[in-house]
Amino acid sequence: MLPTVPGLAFVRPLGQGGFGTVHLARQHRLDRDVAVKLDNRVLTTERDQARFLREARAAARLSGHPNVVNVYDAGVAEDGRPYIVMELCTGGSLADVLRERGPLPVEEVVEMGARLADALARMHAAGILHRDIKPANILVNAFGAVKLADFGLAAILDAHAESTVTVGALSPHYAAPEVFAHAAPSPAGDLYSLAATLYTLIAGSIPRTIPWPADSLDQLVGALNAPVPPIQHAPPAVNAALLGALAADPAARTDSAERLRDELSGLRPARQAPRVERRRRAAAVLAVPALLAAGFLGRGFLPPDERTAEPEPPPESAVAAPAGMAECPGHETDGYCVADRCFGGLVNSADMQITARPIPCADPHAWQAFSGLPLPPEAATMTGTQILALPQVSAACSTRVMTARAGVDTAGWAVEILPSPDRASVLCLASEPGAERTGSAFGPG
């Protein structure tokens, strides 16, 4: 049963997804056709409805961007189902274009990719995550412009839920590897999905083939960390930009949509990704504990004879350096060397969540990493103070190590730590007092 929405007359369904249906509707007062996304779920409380409308208003603020689908209205129908009234894009989606035309010319995809990355950067600056970028969610309007659709709608339409988007609802071939371990949605995840989409449009094939549902944990981890092959007919700069944004480890991934936009536009060179094999091994070490913690060893996931078996820890020699770190000759007990990892101001929330915005070292920055090391599993529940008190961390993140690895005088510099979001590793950061620095103060050792 379709609800009554003031000012609209439903015409016919246009498409159906996991949680709702998009309908063609007529807006009589303005004499125009629109698209209406009607959710199947019901918002039962005033709090849920208020949150939905608040999120919808935030999404509507992006409507002026030329590569974002315009949001005209939103509300909650009399039966409690939320709806959003949007611009009708008559050119279909990029999934339709790919089916009809096959792989697209590199130049065409690079141009649209730069525009979409700019739209994504504006979203992230407004505090909105997309969470489901894929060819089917990029629409083409009547004038041929590509537009991100369903931006923020995963959050909007989950307004009554405390959890993030479930793994069962994701698009596995375009979802970032960390999403499979129930990691919180992040800009890095959106960036991966956009790069996977652009890669598919150029290559005609997905960057990683993800078995879903997977038959075993090894099968899933292997697929999530498989190296992405360069596109044979794409220029090196395009491959470098896409592969950098497709890194399995979010810490090694291109750090922002702005950077991807600039790399695709040729405004700055694409950074060289870490060696594929090292990155793959490091990401696998990080991914397995996260997937275990997320419950991927539940009943029915592994063969019966493996369900009760305790996973064996990898031999010490098999544990690679965390992504972005390297062996540091002469300082084997002082953590790994870290080069060209710079950040803005640190934000410490109750000593439990410590974050910092990545910044290119050539730009003004407050902090630069000089050392780093993996953390033991128990660090997952530790405060920042407790992590710093670990003997191996206090040794690696010391003023002695900072001074030994510096190419400048570091007298009076401050030292802090920055744990990775999953607490699998930690960076030791140094800051020059009184001014932001440009360029690198610490080399690879």
Higher local confidence (pLDDT), 344 or 204: 204
Assessment of whether the complete model's pTM goes beyond 0.85 = no
Least confident of 115-124, 272-281, 383-392: 272-281
Give 336's strand partners: 372
CB 25 within 8 A of CB 9: yes
Residue-by-residue DSSP string for 195-234: HHHHHHHHHSS-SS---SS-S-HHHHHHHHTPPPPPPTTS
pLDDT 10s digits, 14-38: 887 666 789 999 999 999 999 998 9
In this predicted structure, the answer to whether residue 250 has a pLDDT above a threshold of 60 is yes
> Which sign does the torsion angle of CA 355, 127, 37, 57 carry?
positive
* Strands 342-349, 337-338: pairing kind: unpaired
The pLDDT score that the predictor gives to residue 328 is 76
Query: What is the 3-state composition of the chain as percent helix, strand, coil, each rounded to the nearest 5?
Result: 35, 20, 45
Q: 46, 9, 45: which is closest to 30 by C-alpha?
A: 9
Helix (H) or strand (E) holding 374: strand 367-374
Instruction: Choose from 147-151, 248-252, 352-356 the range with maximum mean pLDDT.
Output: 248-252
Quick check: helix, strand or coil at residue 56? helix
Is 147 known to sit in a ligand binding site? no
Q: For the segment 37-55, what is each residue's pLDDT rounded down to a tens digit?
A: 898 888 888 888 888 888 7
What pLDDT is recorded for position 362?
A: 84
Domains and CATH numbers, the chain: 8-86 (3.30.200.20), 94-317 (1.10.510.10), 327-431 (no CATH)
CB atoms within 10 A of CB 392: 15
Catalytic machinery residues: 131
